[in-house]
Structure 1
């Protein structure tokens, strides 16, 4: 029988050198959401259980992974380092597990993109690709993290970045304008007739990814309107754009409509644009092919389909 304290022959480390897998998983979710409460909801644990697990991991490492602020969490430099490493390891473990479980090899296209692009633009259109390619499975990894395409086994990435950065072939540029539920226009006590009226309303704001500052998603439009200092009565902040859109649909405030992601909701009348005028965000969506896409004709078909859909009218 192998000694529990023996060194691993391949890695040269003992089991005691690594945190338990359940602690790493809780840490990864807490680091992504920056909330023990939301991490607990996602993991089906209590907030206190997640907090204890993180504390146990910190004690084992001998270093703090989070800064506990008033009603907020932030990763320490050590936490940032661990988060990058854990994300990479878990992604590789998920891919390896999926590969081992596969009984037969299906034709597949693996795609990564942001949660907002996936839910608002890609998924509503995927049925058309499947109808033309019924034997091809599409695996969508919706994340704001920039995955290593080769390491993660990804065929196609749809990246959201600054136009000047250009991470691949351009799909479309983004324009922005405020949007809200139609019923917000029916409140006589808080009219929405001109941009300055936003001071009476809740603003729905994106934050938290890759150094993105609060109100950064509003900045291009506010600059065009000459309203750079406006904040609204209060703000609801979200880490994923589709959550901000969901809040807007529920009538909880005014969001920045990122076109063409929100175009279908505007076309259907589920959201409305209360003001004239839009702004260019100087950002856009780009399609990048992973190293394995060249040998995957279905991936090449998917890339061609993406560009055709981008030109397709609603």
Structure 2
């Protein structure tokens, strides 16, 4: 059924008189734009204001379109316009055509800025290890937009549209090579090591200090934090004076730097903290945590050269940590 504003064309323009157009006979884009605006507003004046044209210019363009088609598109009444049946057909076509052009134009214009690599990893790895080094990657890849999702959740790469994951997971028995394995050892601020009534000389001295620990999600396991070192030193029943618990490892490290207690240091993650003496290790002999940082690249990113470059850069940075 015709639209409510549609009126049948006069008898000298039969409804079936719409001609077929070849590619060379398509209406000009400027005529379609003016027609779409006039058909939507049912006003040459409003269409002209919208398109920054004069009312007479819009009227002439509509007339040119009608002459090219051989049918009237509007019934012109005093202070009113109505679409003819032919006009309603052309309105639907014009809307579809212009929308497709807008979408295609937006896609093509956005294409140069769509060079991006999205990464998911733990908050600790992101803030302590990755972000301080990231300027070296972006300096060599200035056109690449790097997006980091720092979370303890194990995100599905395909569903989340993430290109690369750095997973902190148990050592995988030689099937893959991790970026690096991990050694754990207590760390604290230099002032805590040498000052106060209970300097840290041996593990039993920890009983006089505050334990800084992380409440990790269940899938990381209970041995993620202090467990491996306490087990390796035979101090599994050690009780410290009190405990401060954090959701994220980086917060526990920050508390240790501030001298609020003793945290478990994860190396080589904290190598730079030892080099600049923000933290010190009061005891010798670290323990392997049996966990490592593994790189996973999504199937949809296998042909993303920027994602491949990012993974190669990660491995180069990790290799530089080797003694």
TM-score range, shorter chain: 0.5 to 0.7
Instruction: Provide, for residues 85-123 of structure 1, a one-character-per-residue CA deviation record: whole Å limited to 9, x for no partner.
Output: xxxxxxxxxxxxxxx999724210000000000000000
1:225 to 220, 230, 233: 233
User: Offset of 1:249 from its aligned partner?
Assistant: 0.8
Distance change (3 Å), C-alpha of 1:165 and 1:158: farther
Task: State the alpha-carbon separation in 2 of the partners of residues 213 and 153 from structure 1.
Answer: 27
| 1:104 alignment partner in structure 2 | 110
Instruction: Provide, for residues 234-286 of structure 1, a one-character-per-residue CA deviation record: whole Å limited to 9, x for no partner.
Output: 11111111011011111110000001111111111000001111000000100
User: Offset of 1:203 from its aligned partner?
Assistant: 0.7
Distance change (3 Å), C-alpha of 1:120 and 1:102: farther
1:125 to 133, 142, 163: 133
Paired residues, number: 215
| 2:282 alignment partner in structure 1 | 274
- 8 A Cα contact 1:209 1:239, kept in partner: no
User: Offset of 1:188 from its aligned partner?
Assistant: 3.5
Task: State the alpha-carbon separation in 2 of the partners of residues 170 and 201 from structure 1.
Answer: 34
- 8 A Cα contact 1:161 1:167, kept in partner: no
SS of the residue corresponding to residue 170 of structure 1 reads coil
2:165 to 150, 157, 166: 157
Distance change (3 Å), C-alpha of 1:311 and 1:230: same
User: Offset of 1:219 from its aligned partner?
Assistant: 1.1
User: Offset of 1:185 from its aligned partner?
Assistant: 1.5
Find out whether 1:255 has 2:226 as its counterpart.
no
* Structure label with greater radius of gyration: 2
| 1:193 alignment partner in structure 2 | 201
Task: State the alpha-carbon separation in 1 of the partners of residues 185 and 131 from structure 2.
Answer: 23
- Describe how 1:140-219 pairs up with structure 2 within 5 A: 140-164=148-172, 169-211=177-219, 216-219=224-227
Task: State the alpha-carbon separation in 1 of the partners of residues 116 and 175 from structure 2.
Answer: 23
| 1:295 alignment partner in structure 2 | 303
| 2:145 alignment partner in structure 1 | 137
Instruction: Provide, for residues 273-301 of structure 1, a one-character-per-residue CA deviation record: whole Å limited to 9, x for no partner.
Output: 01111000000100000122112100000
TM-score computed with the length of structure 1 as normaliser:
0.64
- 8 A Cα contact 1:166 1:286, kept in partner: no
- 8 A Cα contact 1:174 1:282, kept in partner: yes
Q: Structure 2 stretches of 5 or more lacking a match?
A: 1-105
| 2:39 alignment partner in structure 1 | none
User: Offset of 1:180 from its aligned partner?
Assistant: 0.5
Distance change (3 Å), C-alpha of 1:204 and 1:101: farther
Task: State the alpha-carbon separation in 1 of the partners of residues 108 and 177 from structure 2.
Answer: 32
Task: State the alpha-carbon separation in 2 of the partners of residues 141 and 213 from structure 1.
Answer: 22
User: Offset of 1:170 from its aligned partner?
Assistant: 1.5
Task: State the alpha-carbon separation in 2 of the partners of residues 167 and 256 from structure 1.
Answer: 28
